[in-house]
Amino acid sequence: MRHKVAGRTLGRKTNHRIAMWRNMAVALFTHGQITTTLPKAKSVQPFVEKLITTARRGDLTARRRVVKAIGNPILVPFDLKDHDRKALRADGYRVNSYHELQDGPRVVQKLFDEIAPRYADRPGGYTRIIKLARHRIGDGADLCVLQLVGDEDGPQVAGRFSRRREKANHREAFAARVRKAPAKAEQAPVEQPQAESSAEENPPTES
């Protein structure tokens, strides 16, 4: 029995679990949010927030501790095959003739230069967990989104696509078309039927 043993094992050995945390933290720092299961998100959240707290110090010792925890991988936020070599070179990436990545900006540099200064005045709570209204196909596990606070420009996280905005856009477009349409000419007043007038003009004669 696991008395007084904090944390979740997640069915993994210690080295495997730490490697999973490292990969999830790198993906979170790269993209700003990741979709995973709820137990994994709750397990990696303290690990990520401690890294951000360490990076807020900004000194060499803090950088060495972060590099020891997650390494110093190359920052790859997009598919390199969709960009030519000149565009990648302008962004700081270096690829060979086979379009294989050789060097580029680092994740730790982004953490210290962009992410950590954003939370300089925030005493913890750098991430949030948003539960999704869908489940993983294989085992039906509950899915959620782990994202950095203040980075809400990512993909849809509501779980179900809302059509309220789409309907509002349709209404606005229809109202704009109605305003631009030329005003219709006023219709002439409808004349009353004159069926009884002919009978009054020619009364029936008595025989």
Residues paired with residue 135 on neighbouring β-strands, in sequence order: 142
* Residue 185, pLDDT score: 47
Answer yes or no: is 194 within a domain: no
Q: Assess if residue 184 is contained within a domain.
A: no
Rounded to whole angstroms, the Cα distance separating 70 from 197 reads 99
User: Is this structure's pTM higher than 0.85?
Assistant: no
Is residue 183 included in any domain, yes or no?
Answer: no
- Tell me if 19 is assigned to some domain: yes
- Count of domains in the chain? 1
| Residue range 80-96, pLDDT digits in tens | 888 888 888 888 999 88
What is the domain-level CATH number for residue 138? 3.90.1030.10
pLDDT of residue 151: 62
Residue 203 falls inside a structural domain: no
Torsion of CA 62, 66, 67, 69, to 10 degrees: 140
Q: Which residues pair with 131 in a beta bridge?
A: 144
Which segments of the chain have a pLDDT < 70? Answer: 151-166, 182-207
Residue 193 lies in a domain: no
Do the domain assignments include residue 206?
no
Within a domain: 22: yes
The range of the structural domain enclosing residue 58 comes to 14-178
Cα–Cα distance measured from residue 100 to residue 98, given in angstroms and rounded to the nearest whole number: 5
| pLDDT per position as a tens digit, 158-175 | 444 445 666 777 888 888
- Report which of 56, 50, 88 is spatially closest to residue 69, judged by C-alpha positions: 50
What is residue 70's predicted lDDT score, i.e. its pLDDT? Answer: 94
